[in-house]
Structure 1
Amino acid sequence: MRVAVVAVLVALLLLATPLALGIQTSFFADERDELERVALAAAVHVPPFVVGGHVELPAHERGVDVGVYDLSGRRRDGSGPRRADATAREARKGIVVRGHVGHQLVVAVPLSTQEQVIGTVRASSGTAGVWHRVVLAWLGLAGLALVALATAIVVARRQARTLSAPLEALSAKAGAVADGDFTARAEGSAIAEIDQVARTQNTMVDHLTRWLEHERHFTSNASHQLRTPLAGLQLGLEAAAGDPDADPRAALTEALDQARHLQRTVDEVLRLARATPRPAVPTTARPAAEVAEGVERRWHGRFAAAGRRLGLVAEPGGEGLRIPDRTAEQILDVLLDNALRHGRGAVRITVRELGGATAVDVSDEGSPALDRRTLFQRGATTSPAGRGIGLTLARELAETAGGRLTLARSNPTIFTLLLPVAEPPPSHE
């Protein structure tokens, strides 16, 4: 608003200053023209006179001094100085002379007869009256300028509000985001530049939200995947330490296998955290049956301790297909952990070939408590001990490897993991 008001003030100053000077010049020029008209009218009506003759002037308006002077400079009739001043003497040359004497405007015209100058007619008036009219005109001009300035202030306030309102709203949304409300989104406005800033801020908040969510998911994924292997490693070491007859070499070998599995788990979770939206196939691959056998061997003791049976079936044609081993291990760990915690009865892992892809089924004799729409949603769980992370993580892992994890059947429960067949490693001759 200050910018607009200053601009209007500068414009009014640049416009009013020459206009005020023009009014002053015009009023004084009009007054001189009027004096010249009065002097000429008097010169026309004054009869020829001789030295010592009587001269009579026609009537003229009040406030104007009109005098007739002979060639000697003596005033013969009218009002004005008794002797002709410089302006009146200059008019003897037969020209109209305009001058300024003190606070008076003076106009002198020659008085002639038979083409011979016999005297001069002098008309004068005070400048006070002219200045009075000039000041009145200036006051009127100042009033118009004030009206224009007031109008400009009103318009500037409206424009300033139009500009500041969306900026204030944008600032409020930015403050809400800074306070942790990542659902705050800036609204559009009628001003293209501010609207562009709002869209840019919304895009930035969307990216920040995704990044923070990605970080939170990474933390929860890592804790979920590492919890079970760490617990197994701890139990194995505690059992070996508590049994004086236990073979320490076997305990160390098992601990080393668990540590390697933990390393692969960390690598896979980190790979998922860095994964782009497009599928990223891991670099290592092994036969599907070999991967499933390693997973079954790791989980067999836990199912046996729970009084449940865990089996592995590799159908012909599917056992030799190569799949992303680390991704498949993590997904199968999640499915077996889910079956152990929430399933019932015997659990079976089936490896088969399905339309050029590798299908790995994990089935048990129970049925899921959640429906298909919420089963894979993060945080969806019916158990107080569960956090609803495992199945969501397993599906994300499958998608980053270019595969798919689905609930093939609800009763009994069958989860099917489809993975693309990896290319065999190049042979070295």
Structure 2
Amino acid sequence: MRRRVVRVAVVSVLVALVLFALPLGAALRAYLFADERNELEREALAAAVRVGPDFASGDRVELPPAPPGVRIGVYDMSLRRQAGAGPRKAGSAARRAARGSVFAAHTTADGALVTAVPVSRNEQVVGIVRASTDTGGLWWHVAEGWLALVATALVALGAAILAARRQARALTKPLESLSRQCRAVAGGDLSARASPSAIAEIDQVARTHNDMVSSISRLLERERNFAANASHQLRTPLTGLQLALEAALTNPHADLRAALEEASDSSRRLQTTVDEVLALAHSRRPDSLTGVAELGTVLDALEHRWHGLLALGDRRLTVQSESSARARHVPRVCGQILDALLDNARVHGQGTVEVRVREVGGAAAIDVADEGHISTGTTVLFARGQSGGAGTGIGLALARELAESAGCRLNLARADPSMFTLLCPPE
């Protein structure tokens, strides 16, 4: 592209120089020749003044000294030289002057510039003064002027080439940078972004490229998060399903129908989990998770799922709620959020896990507390991939994402002993 920009600029300058220099060169030649003719005319007029009234009767003519290179002669009406220098027989310029049709006649013949003026007495032409000079020196001055024009054109062309190369670098540098960023993205570096430049059109392409890469990054991040979220959230219902089936298999007196019903409930729970996590992965609106459920039903299911899992670690679960709060409707995804909080308490917390429901200004506040201690800052605590122990660093980040998608708020209410609060807005 640099060569093309320079080539276009050079061709444009050359065309401009040709269109400018040719008329200027012709005008320079015409000016120099016209100036020389005027000078010859002045010399001829000065000599004509010296021609006396008795010239026609043979009176001697004394001409003024001529400038170097100029020949001045006086001719009679038969165009024969009577005095001065010049050819013995005058040419066409003197013939026209003899007719008195012009004040001064000019011709160029045999490499000489000729001017002839009539000599008049009593309103009659009695002779002709002819002045001539060689055009060799004049052409030398014309050549000097043309050389000056060529030198000026070459300087202008050189300046244009330098400016074109500089402009070409300014145009191609951001494009080369954009090309490098595109190659980086093609190589898998989705953090590569094109830098702004001083060229609006290239900046527009760079912004479009950056928006495209950002969209691809968000899409890939949602896909990766979906896999991580699904594996994290499916772990608890799969564990419960496995425990129920193992209990039914190991107990010969177990009620198989009850075990199957529990397995069916767990499978439905798995399906709901997948749907909600998938909705979160593809959500672009805060209210994308719009399903609702009765809070009492959510708490009962939560206690049923987690009582046995916490008991395996010799830990106790208590669920407390006001009777009026149990009848409230909350986003159905609150069950997923509470699962993530209880799983976090099981992995990182200590002692009894308490779930309490209270009303705060018409909203339902669900507290999940245990006897553990949190020393991590809030920013890091809810960051994806950050874990204070052996966990995956997904649970709390997923819980907050689910809460925001459902229009709720999840915060760390207390660090020692730890307590998280999920605030669900009024219906």
Q: 1:268 aligns with which of 245, 262, 276?
A: 276
Classify 1:406/1:27 alpha carbon distance in 2 versus 1 (closer, same or farther; 3 Å). Answer: closer
Distance in structure 1 (CA, Å) of the matches to 2:60 and 2:289: 129
Q: Deviations over 1:223-275 (max 9, x none)?
A: 21123323443554466567777655444322211110011101211222233
Question: Counterparts in 2 of 1:399-410, with a 5 A limit?
Answer: 399-410=404-415
Classify 1:72/1:416 alpha carbon distance in 2 versus 1 (closer, same or farther; 3 Å). Answer: closer
Question: Counterparts in 2 of 1:7-406, with a 5 A limit?
Answer: 7-47=12-52, 48-50=54-56, 55-94=61-100, 95=102, 96-191=104-199, 194=202, 201-202=209-210, 204-234=212-242, 236-237=244-245, 248-276=256-284, 278-280=286-288, 282-286=290-294, 288-324=295-331, 326-368=332-374, 370-384=376-390, 386-406=391-411
Distance in structure 2 (CA, Å) of the matches to 1:322 and 1:71: 130
CA RMSD in angstroms comes to 3.1
Classify 1:133/1:363 alpha carbon distance in 2 versus 1 (closer, same or farther; 3 Å). Answer: closer
Distance in structure 1 (CA, Å) of the matches to 2:358 and 2:56: 146
Structure 2 counterpart of 1:425: none
Q: Deviations over 1:84-111 (max 9, x none)?
A: 3233222221233222334322222223
Q: What code does the residue aligned with 1:142 have?
A: V
Distance in structure 2 (CA, Å) of the matches to 1:59 and 1:359: 122
Classify 1:64/1:410 alpha carbon distance in 2 versus 1 (closer, same or farther; 3 Å). Answer: closer
- How many residues of Structure 1 are paired with residues of Structure 2 in the alignment? 419
Q: Deviations over 1:22-55 (max 9, x none)?
A: 1100111122222222222222223333466655
Matched-pair contact (CA < 8 Å) for 1:46–1:58: no
Distance in structure 2 (CA, Å) of the matches to 1:410 and 1:154: 67
Q: Deviations over 1:329-360 (max 9, x none)?
A: 11222222223333333333333333322233
Classify 1:359/1:58 alpha carbon distance in 2 versus 1 (closer, same or farther; 3 Å). Answer: closer
Matched-pair contact (CA < 8 Å) for 1:289–1:351: no
Distance in structure 2 (CA, Å) of the matches to 1:352 and 1:37: 118
Structure 1 counterpart of 2:423: 418
Matched-pair contact (CA < 8 Å) for 1:367–1:413: yes
Shift of 1:117: 2.3
Q: Which moved more, 1:315-324 or 1:49-58?
A: 49-58
Distance in structure 2 (CA, Å) of the matches to 1:254 and 1:311: 22
Distance in structure 2 (CA, Å) of the matches to 1:165 and 1:343: 56
Gaps of 5+ in 1: 423-429
Matched-pair contact (CA < 8 Å) for 2:119–2:127: yes
Shift of 1:139: 0.9
Q: Secondary structure at the match of 1:378?
A: coil
Q: What code does the residue aligned with 1:377 have?
A: A
Gaps of 5+ in 2: none
Task: State TM-score, norm by structure 2.
Answer: 0.85
Q: What code does the residue aligned with 1:396 have?
A: E
Distance in structure 2 (CA, Å) of the matches to 1:50 and 1:405: 128
Matched-pair contact (CA < 8 Å) for 2:279–2:289: no
Distance in structure 2 (CA, Å) of the matches to 1:38 and 1:412: 119
Classify 1:239/1:113 alpha carbon distance in 2 versus 1 (closer, same or farther; 3 Å). Answer: same
Identity of aligned residues (%): 55
Task: State TM-score, norm by structure 1.
Answer: 0.84
